[in-house]
């Protein structure tokens, strides 16, 4: 059995183990008890009660090393004589019993401690209580085996589902060329057919066929685009991009469709330069402008940008149907369309456009938002980092990037820290918002260049709230990345206007690097 799996179980299971340990202490009327599991994190200490330690890493390490030595003695003859009376920080061992799974495989041991004085009183009750302690150890072994087996089955099922998803995505991505080829031929044949027919009814029929083919091609393109993003096949190339160049190209592209619907497509000149992938930015804005025209029956669509500190917000305004407030998060889910008055032209889409926009935004570390009033229209925006002057960027590029990471899961924290340090970043880590704020207040601690925080911290705390307090204390809009497993539905409203980038778990190192480079406008680590 992989005993390290005990460390990966949830908080509820940890509370269960603590309950067993507390029961062991009560049975012997003892001061403290410890459950030690071989190969577990925290030096083997899986659960403890009554030791009065402050939880510092060095205390846990010392305790774990001592018990590891005693645990080996339990398999030897006359173990009681060797173990009983051992002393640790003012506590002495009253009893130690092995913990094994139902098959007899050793997992660790259960220990009960008393004060280092009064041995005669303690020795008199050890024999009577040892049988009860052994039964508790047996219950612990059964509980651990059951939980690890359950987690293993769940992990296997999850891995199989992820494998199937990756296989599907790889197939669609690899088939991209072959699936598009027939549409190319159909377009050419329809063009020839249209030039050869003169009857108005036949011309109308050809036009309808062209529209149907275009609709099918649009749907296929969206599916392939989404699958490529999900398969991790899209690798951003982040550079400095003049916003005006991208917007002018898209305005030319959509001017014809807007005029055909009787809409005014307005464009506000924008002199900003941003840090992003130009092709991916263009794809995001193409979906937003296309949606605005599609779902606006009359009036206008306007595109422009605003500066917000060191960020640029590109906005697409429309006078369309609008979206009810309680449905605004749902529109970023796949295959979601919100019914509106009159014809919604539903045959022209699957509701994938905004899901693609969100995927690309997450990949680049940009944030997206929506404001809407039913019957009046909507505003969709993409917020991304403004390009800093070259002299400023170059002046800071030699110094390592300082990153404050706030994550209450120790495994996640260790993984993120290890990756950042491999990129030569200077990492300050905190397991809670309170510790992060305390570190910010230390005089000898330099201010971080970037904050990475888990959105949902333990105890109902929010990484967004912690970030707001950090920015208040630093009197600066320090760049920030929030990490979350929430769906778009859960997080969109909360993060609107927060001026942060969002990484959706699970994310890979390249996604993290891209988000950091986009936020800081400088390379991170050496790319291989």
| DSSP assignment string, 407-463 | -S-HHHHHHHHHHHHHTT-EEEEESSHHHHHHHHT-TTSPPPSEEEEESB-GGG-BH
For 327, the token pair is: 């449905």
CATH number for 3-154 (one of 1.10.3470, 3.30.450, 2.30.30, 3.30.70): it is 3.30.450
Mean pLDDT of the chain: 77
Instruction: Answer whether residue 117 shows pLDDT above 50.
Output: no
Model pLDDT for residues 215-224, shown as the tens digit of each residue:
787 777 777 7
Higher pLDDT, 266 or 16: 266
pLDDT of residue 115: 67
Architecture of domain 397-520: 3-Layer(aba) Sandwich (3.40)
Gyration radius from the chain CA atoms: 31
Assess contact for 303 and 267: CB atoms under 8 A.
yes
pTM of the model: 0.48
Q: How many whole angstroms separate alpha carbon 247 and alpha carbon 241?
A: 11
Q: 330 phi and psi, to 5 degrees?
A: -65, -25
pLDDT average, residue stretch 142-165: 72
pLDDT average, residue stretch 344-364: 72
Q: How many whole angstroms separate alpha carbon 51 and alpha carbon 55?
A: 10
Q: How many whole angstroms separate alpha carbon 366 and alpha carbon 388?
A: 16
pLDDT average, residue stretch 91-106: 82
pLDDT band, very low/low/confident/very high, at 393 (cuts 50, 70, 90): very low
Let me know how long the chain is.
528
Q: For the purposes of burial, counting CB atoms within 10 Å of the CB of 316, is it exposed (0-12), middle (13-18) or buried (19 or more)?
A: buried
Q: How far is CA 440 from CA 414, 431, 478, in A?
A: 20, 14, 12
Q: How far is CA 63 from CA 9, 66, 108, 246, 487, in A?
A: 22, 5, 14, 61, 41
Q: How far is CA 171 from CA 46, 165, 216, 228, 374, in A?
A: 44, 10, 19, 10, 40
pLDDT average, residue stretch 27-38: 81
Provide the CATH topology of domain 239-385. Heat Shock Protein 90 (3.30.565)
Instruction: Answer whether residue 512 shows pLDDT above 50.
Output: yes
Helix crossing, 410-422 with 509-520: angle to 10°? 60
Contacts of 385 (CB under 8 A, 6+ apart): 274, 275, 276, 310, 311, 312, 479, 518, 519, 520, 521
Q: 480 phi and psi, to 5 degrees?
A: -145, 145
Q: How many whole angstroms separate alpha carbon 453 and alpha carbon 378?
A: 30
Instruction: Answer whether residue 270 shows pLDDT above 80.
Output: yes
pLDDT of residue 116: 52
pLDDT of residue 476: 77
Higher pLDDT, 355 or 343: 355
pLDDT average, residue stretch 261-290: 91
For 424, the token pair is: 């030569």
What separation, in Å, do the N-terminal and C-terminal C-alpha atoms of the chain show?
Answer: 37
pLDDT of residue 186: 87
Strand partners, 402: 426
Instruction: Answer whether residue 314 shows pLDDT above 90.
Output: yes
Q: How many whole angstroms separate alpha carbon 406 and alpha carbon 430?
A: 5
For residues 259-290, b (16+ Cβ closer than 10 Å) or e, as one string? Answer: eeeebebebeebebbbbbbbebbbbbbbbbbb
pLDDT average, residue stretch 316-333: 85
Cα-to-chain-centroid distance, residue 292: 29
Assess contact for 352 and 335: CB atoms under 8 A.
yes
pLDDT average, residue stretch 162-185: 70
Nearest to 485 by CA among 379, 380, 409: 409
pLDDT of residue 343: 45
Instruction: Answer whether residue 108 shows pLDDT above 70.
Output: yes
Assess contact for 280 and 236: CB atoms under 8 A.
yes
pLDDT band, very low/low/confident/very high, at 41 (cuts 50, 70, 90): low
The least confident of 16-25, 35-44, 193-202 is: 35-44
Nearest to 139 by CA among 230, 289, 23, 27: 23
Of the ranges 32-41, 142-151, 330-339, 400-409, the best mean pLDDT one = 400-409
Q: Tokens 């900003």 identify what position? A: 272
pLDDT average, residue stretch 43-48: 73
Q: Tokens 């032209």 identify what position? A: 345
Q: How many whole angstroms separate alpha carbon 453 and alpha carbon 405?
A: 6
Q: Tokens 């600066």 identify what position? A: 476
Q: How many DSSP H helices and E strands does the chain contain?
A: 15, 17
Of the ranges 151-155, 176-180, 453-457, the best mean pLDDT one = 453-457
pLDDT average, residue stretch 225-249: 80
Instruction: Answer whether residue 310 shows pLDDT above 60.
Output: yes
Higher pLDDT, 443 or 243: 243
pLDDT of residue 80: 55
Assess contact for 238 and 275: CB atoms under 8 A.
yes
Q: What percent of the chain has pLDDT over 70?
A: 73
Neighbours of 26 (CB within 10 A): 12
Higher pLDDT, 324 or 154: 324
Higher pLDDT, 355 or 62: 355
Strand partners, 503: 483
pLDDT average, residue stretch 285-305: 93
Phi-psi region of 478 (alpha: psi -120 to 50; beta: other; left: phi over 0): beta
Higher pLDDT, 491 or 49: 49
């Amino acid at each position: 059995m992989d005993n390290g799996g005990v460390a990966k179980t949830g908080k509820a299971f940890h509370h269960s183990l603590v309950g067993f340990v507390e029961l062991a202490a009560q049975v012997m009327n003892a001061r403290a008890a410890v459950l030690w599991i071989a190969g577990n994190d925290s030096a083997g200490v899986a659960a403890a009660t009554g030791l009065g330690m402050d939880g510092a890493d060095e205390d846990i390490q010392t305790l774990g090393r001592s018990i590891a030595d005693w645990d080996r003695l339990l398999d030897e003859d006359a173990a009681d004589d060797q173990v009983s009376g051992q002393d640790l920080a003012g506590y002495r061992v009253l009893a130690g019993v092995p913990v094994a799974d139902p098959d007899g495989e050793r997992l660790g041991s259960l220990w009960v401690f008393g004060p280092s004085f009064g041995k005669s009183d303690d020795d008199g009750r050890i024999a009577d209580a040892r049988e009860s302690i052994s039964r508790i150890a047996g219950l612990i072994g059964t509980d651990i085996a059951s939980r690890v087996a359950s987690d293993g089955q769940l992990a296997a099922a999850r891995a199989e589902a992820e494998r199937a998803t990756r296989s599907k995505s790889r197939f669609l991505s690899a088939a991209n060329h072959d699936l598009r080829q027939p549409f190319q031929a159909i377009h050419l044949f329809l063009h020839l057919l249209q030039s050869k027919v003169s009857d108005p009814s036949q011309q109308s029929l050809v036009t309808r066929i062209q529209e149907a083919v275009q609709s099918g091609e649009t749907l296929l393109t969206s599916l392939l685009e989404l699958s490529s993003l999900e398969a991790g096949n899209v690798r951003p190339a982040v550079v400095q991009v003049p916003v005006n160049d991208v917007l002018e190209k898209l305005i030319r592209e959509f001017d014809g469709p807007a005029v055909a619907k009787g809409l005014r497509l307005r464009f506000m000149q924008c002199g900003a330069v941003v840090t992003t992938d130009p092709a991916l930015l263009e794809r995001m804005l193409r979906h937003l402008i296309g949606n605005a025209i599609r779902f606006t029956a009359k009036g206008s669509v306007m595109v422009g940008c605003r500066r917000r500190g060191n960020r640029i917000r590109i906005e697409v305004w429309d006078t369309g149907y609008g979206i009810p407030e309680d449905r605004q998060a749902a529109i970023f889910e796949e295959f979601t369309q919100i019914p509106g008055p009159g014809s919604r032209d539903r045959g022209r889409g699957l509701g994938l456009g905004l899901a693609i926009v969100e995927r690309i935004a997450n990949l680049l570390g940009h944030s997206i938002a929506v404001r809407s009033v039913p019957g009046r229209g909507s505003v969709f925006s993409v917020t991304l980092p403004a390009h800093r002057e070259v002299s400023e960027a170059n002046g800071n590029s030699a110094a390592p990037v300082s990153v404050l990471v706030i994550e209450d899961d120790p495994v996640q924290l260790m993984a993120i820290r290890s990756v950042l340090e491999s990129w030569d970043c200077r990492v300050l880590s905190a397991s809670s918002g309170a510790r992060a704020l305390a570190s910010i207040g230390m005089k000898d601690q330099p201010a971080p260049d970037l904050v990475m925080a888990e959105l949902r911290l333990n105890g109902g705390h929010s990484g967004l709230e912690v970030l707001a307090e950090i920015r208040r204390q630093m009197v600066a809009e320090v760049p920030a990345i929030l990490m979350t497993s929430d769906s778009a539905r859960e997080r969109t409203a909360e993060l609107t206007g927060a001026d942060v980038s969002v990484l959706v778990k699970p994310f890979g190192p390249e996604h993290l690097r891209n988000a950091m480079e986009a936020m800081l406008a400088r390379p991170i680590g050496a790319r291989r």
